[in-house]
Structure 1
Amino acid sequence: MKITGKHLFLLKKLNIGVYDRLKTEFLFHSNRLEGSMFSKEEIMKLTIEKRVIGSHKLNDIIEIANSIEVFDFIAKIYNEQLSEKLLKEFHGILLNNSLNVFDSKLAGTYRAMPARLRKVELELSSPETIHFDMELLLQEYNEVKMDTRKIAEFHSKFEKIHPFHDGNGRVGRFIILKQCLDNDVDLIVVHSEYEKEYKDALYIAQTGNGIDTLVNIFEKSQRRFEKTIRKMMKNLDIYN
């Protein structure tokens, strides 16, 4: 089921629970891909009651709380085009008040040091070219109608630029969310069970071996999330 940015904004205003369930589903899988141990129930409690249940490190709680805020921010600015300023805002909110001094100090800024990914050989953008690379990337894709394939292409290129010192995966998936909302594309919520397939597919694309594998993961995730959405939307016509 396609949901536009305006639909998400209205669902938030309606305050009937569907918005919070959509948000919880997205945040659970996106953060689980980065090692979060928060369950869906625990994220929902934090979202609705501002209450933490379970045993979690303080910084993990901060990260989930910040992720909730980024999602809400995206619902609010549904009519704004992607820009470097907007992406830096995503990152600034995501790492705000982190207990990691580097995360807190560098929130909302491009990295100033070279970076390498663990376990893979991949040449990322140098600090000197990040702004230029991001500017070109946004210009290239903001000028076209996005579909699942183009979103996969953008995601692969964004993650290879790796503009931030940390949080690139989560910011990248928030970008995917906004691109789906902006372009009337079935929501792409990469299921946490596809973690290895997803990361392998990213590497394949980033090493010049084709985007098809990543597109397949996104399409598989769309079909799986479609079933989840239909259960949420049962007896609710969001278009009315």
Structure 2
Amino acid sequence: MSEFKKWLIDRFIIERKKFDRSGVYAYTQRVMAYNSNKIEGSTLTPEQTASLFDNGTLPRSDDYYRAKDVEEMNGHFLMFNYMLDTLEEDLSQELIKQFHYELKSGVFEDRANGYAIGDYKQRPNMVGMYKTVLPKNVAEEMEKLLAWYAAQPKNMETLAKFHARYESIHPFQDGNGRTGRMILFRESLKYEEVDPFIILDDDRTVYIEALKEFRENGTVSQLTELLQKEAEIYYKQCEYFM
């Protein structure tokens, strides 16, 4: 493991235990939660996200806050912590389902809609005009994906392929992008050949096009390039805290 990643994981653990909201742990929580939720349409701002993480409150506003946005933001904070707690475990279907549970268990709208929380989808869903794997086939396809991943060298291209295949399966009724990006961050912390990264909402268009490239051509050159760019950005931001 690189010195940077060892330092980063150590800081995450120490700062979380100390409830430190001024270091790289809090920075990463805020940036990842804001961007990953924003990609999915969250209306919360970076400042509102920070306030929610720092003290559990939202600034007074003339606009209404969408309950689902707040619930999913809090769920993302919990999913990140669970990811840290299980960093030594092998990636598995049960672990991924638990990520989904942490993200979604407090979301009233999803429960009211009868969505499976912490389990695979029960209804077919689409990504735009693209069909995804049918519910009856999800467990089998996820097993194949994880077996393939376990046998691959861990580098940025492998992570890109894993993510593109995961999003094509779309195992959950909702929350696929956020669980998928959390898996990416987790795996980027674990393996020597990959630098950690966060996919930014500023790059949403490139990200969506890169996933489209995989669905249409089976290639991940665009996604791999994006992940490498995001890793450089994240490292530069983390340098401030070193």
Q: Fold conserved (TM > 0.5)?
A: yes
Q: Distance in 1 between matches of 2:218 and 2:165?
A: 13
Partner of 2:82: 73
Cα offset, 1:103, TM superposition: 5.6
Q: Secondary structure at the match of 1:110?
A: coil
Change in Cα spacing, 1:170 to 1:74, as seen in structure 2 (3 Å) is same
Q: Distance in 2 between matches of 1:103 and 1:3?
A: 40
Q: Distance in 2 between matches of 1:104 and 1:35?
A: 21
Partner of 1:38: 44
Partner of 1:125: 133
Partner of 1:9: 13
Instruction: Give identity over the alignment, percent.
Output: 23
Partner of 1:226: 235
Partner of 1:87: 96
Any idea what the Cα deviations from partners look like across 1:135-181, whole Å, max 9, x if unmatched?
11111112344211111000000000110011101111011011111
Say if 2:182 is the partner of 1:174. yes
Any idea what the Cα deviations from partners look like across 1:58-93, whole Å, max 9, x if unmatched?
121111111111011111211111110011111111
Unaligned runs of at least 5 residues, structure 1 = none
- Please report the TM-score for the alignment, with normalisation by the length of structure 1: 0.89
Aligned residues: 231
Instruction: Report if aligned partners of 2:116, 2:122 keep a CA contact under 8 Å in 1.
Output: no
Cα offset, 1:25, TM superposition: 1.2
Moved more, 185-194 or 104-113: 104-113
The higher-RCO structure (CA 8 Å, 6+ apart) is 1
Amino acid paired to 1:196: T
Cα offset, 1:131, TM superposition: 0.4
Instruction: Report if aligned partners of 1:148, 1:218 keep a CA contact under 8 Å in 2.
Output: yes
- Please report the TM-score for the alignment, with normalisation by the length of structure 2: 0.88
After superposing on structure 2, the runs of 4+ consecutive aligned residues of structure 1 that deviate more than 6 Å are none
Moved more, 164-173 or 101-110: 101-110
Amino acid paired to 2:5: I
Unaligned runs of at least 5 residues, structure 2 = none
